[in-house]
Amino acid sequence: MVSTQSVTVTPSSLSYTDLQWIIQHREDRCTLCGKCTAICPKGAIHLTYRRQRVPRVDVLSKKRGSDYKTFVGIRQRTKMANACIGCSMCSMVCPNEAITPVPNSNENRSVFFNNQKGEPNKRGGRRNVEGPTLLDRIMFDRISMLTDPALDAGRHEFNVTTTLGRVLSPEDFLDRTINGGWIPPTREIFPFVIGSMSFGALSPNMWLGMLQGVAYCNEVLGIPVVMCTGEGGCPPWVLRSPYLKYIILQIASGYFGWDEIIRAIPEMQCMPAAIEIKYGQGAKPGDGGLLMWYKVSKLIARLRGVPEAVDLPSPPVHQTLYSIEESVMKMVQTLSTAFEHKVPVYPKISASTSAKSVLNNLVRNPYAAGLMIDGIDGGTGAAYNVSMDATGHPVASCVRECYLDLAAQGKQNEIPIFAAGGIGKNGNVAQNGMALVMLGASGVHIGKYIMQAVGGCLGNEKNRCNVCNTGICPKGITSQSPKLYRRLDPDKVAERVADVYMSINTEVKKIMAPLGRSQCLPVGMSDALGIADKAAAERLQIKYVC
């Protein structure tokens, strides 16, 4: 018997049944090739010696006893720093199907230890709430049948584009055309935008692959997809390339990367698609961006004009100005001027009860080109878990309220509203996006869905993976270490971008055709929506159906 004292059991000692993911390893299949332990980004498993009892039975004598032999096996580490994240890279590389993580169905005590060294849990991903979202539950129930024949999604001509940029009232437009006034710039884009994911958050291969894919969609498939850079600038060669027209440049409160952008303006071959000024993000409202030091590589440091390997938190607000109204007004105007009033400039805010006041502010700002509203289910590269899970506002009601507010003024879509946050969370990207469009959004931004679809991101709402912040992304999507990101082939990513957009395009038509719409994206066509939830129907002012 060993004395209790000699066993190191501390308050934070865990057994692996306390962890969120448990490794199941089959010794009988394992050939000890070591692939799983080599690939594990968390060091959650390791090869180690184990002792096995070999009973010694001597039939002729009465003696019984035990011999022991040592062998090599795989063991799961139980330190929080090495807790398995369920990414299942181990099972992906195992040649013998000998290993796999399983979600722990037992109580998961490790949540109580997610704050070691006084640091609350930070992670990437998005809100850990499973099950169908409100958007998933919306149905398109206005089906053309008798008087208006339903259209054929495969054969009819569809116009699946939306306007990005300030839309004047027809009266204003004619007045300015005749009298030579300024007509705000607009772009015809595909309504599903690749949302802001910065060049620092994503690995160069992921970013490059997406850019290639976007260019292919525009130039070969004729689907005018645009993507947003997020804060952190844009590689200098892209700024000087014709691909810039597919890119929305983001400026956030850290202004990271903007030196490069400003310097590149005289050499730009074309204008960017738009400028997004980030005031808030749905995943972590009230927080600025955060690029943790692990990911600030030499390249990123150069691009952002900062030292290597330091944390890069952006302030929660734009520090140079002291009121949001003033800030929005000045920044929108300044940036519009910097790009000779040829580029739409719009703010991005997190969905909240104050979205409507921001919107009404924009209506009176002649340079504001739109409003991007990001809801609580939005994704992020790094944030405090508590912000992601508990802070924010769902996007659907926020967008709807804003749209109805504009409609009451006869100004709907003059300031196009873009929505983000949880679109495609359960894979229903076209359905979720179109539900928002019919609630009043001119288009949607999708980030996490794109990462999952084109990069093969492993994250989910059961807190699988979600280590995007630490630079150990097992797929090489969000890591800045070449060792990891060379796992991701940019050409394959580009191919997936094209796949994804071709299929969204088809699905959107499959939604529009039965409604009898083909010429115009059904923005605000709320008569086509129904939901089997009385309270939601009332709140969104759509039909209650059950």
| Contact flag: residue 437 with another protein (CB under 8 A) | no
Q: Which partner in ligand SF4, another protein, none is near 535 (CB below 5 to 8 A by kind)? A: none
The smaller minimum CB distance to ligand SF4, of residues 125 and 235, is found at 125
| Contact flag: residue 309 with another protein (CB under 8 A) | no
Distances (CA, A) of 468 to 41, 427, 472, 477: 11, 20, 7, 8
Residues in contact with another protein, counted by CB under 8 A, come to a total of 41
Q: Which partner in another protein, ligand SF4, none is near 3 (CB below 5 to 8 A by kind)? A: none
Give how far the C-alpha of residue 502 lies from the chain's centroid of Cα atoms, to the nearest Å: 20
Q: List b or e across 318-333, with b for residues whose CB sees 16 or more CB atoms inside 10 angstroms.
A: beeeeebeebbbebbb
Show contacts with ligand SF4 in window 103-122 (CB under 6 A): none
What is the per-residue DSSP string for 483-497?
HHHTTS-HHHHHHHH
Minimum Å gap between C-beta 456 and ligand SF4 is 7
Region near another protein per CB under 8 A, out of 2-10, 56-64, 149-157, 276-284: 149-157
The Cα 18–Cα 248 span in angstroms is 44
Residue 110, both tokens: 């490790």
The smaller minimum CB distance to another protein, of residues 181 and 427, is found at 181
In 3D space, the residue among 28, 29, 25, 69 whose CA is nearest the CA of residue 47 turns out to be 25
| Contact flag: residue 478 with ligand SF4 (CB under 6 A) | yes
| Contact flag: residue 174 with another protein (CB under 8 A) | yes
| Contact flag: residue 517 with another protein (CB under 8 A) | yes
The smaller minimum CB distance to ligand SF4, of residues 437 and 467, is found at 467
Residues whose CB is less than 8 angstroms from the CB of residue 375 and which lie 6 or more positions away in sequence, other chains included: 282, 350, 351, 392, 393, 394, 395, 396, 398, 419, 420, 421, 422
Distances (CA, A) of 407 to 285, 355, 517, 538: 27, 15, 20, 17
The smaller minimum CB distance to ligand SF4, of residues 417 and 467, is found at 467
In 3D space, the residue among 342, 345, 300, 341 whose CA is nearest the CA of residue 327 turns out to be 345
Q: Check if the beta carbon of residue 435 is closer than 8 Å to that of residue 138.
A: yes
Q: Check if the beta carbon of residue 516 is closer than 8 Å to that of residue 426.
A: no
Minimum Å gap between C-beta 512 and another protein is 9
Show contacts with ligand SF4 in window 173-192 (CB under 6 A): none
| Contact flag: residue 178 with another protein (CB under 8 A) | yes
| Contact flag: residue 541 with another protein (CB under 8 A) | no
In 3D space, the residue among 288, 279, 283, 275 whose CA is nearest the CA of residue 325 turns out to be 279
The Cα 217–Cα 222 span in angstroms is 6
Minimum Å gap between C-beta 467 and ligand SF4 is 5
Among 74, 85, 193, 291, binds ligand SF4 (CB under 6 A): 85
Minimum Å gap between C-beta 379 and ligand SF4 is 9
Q: Tell me which residues touch ligand SF4 (CB under 6 A).
A: 21, 23, 39-40, 42, 44-45, 84-90, 101, 124-125, 451, 457-459, 465-468, 473-475, 477-478
Interface residue list for another protein (CB under 8 A)? 144, 146-149, 151, 156, 159, 163, 167-174, 177-178, 183, 186, 188, 407-413, 515-520, 522-527
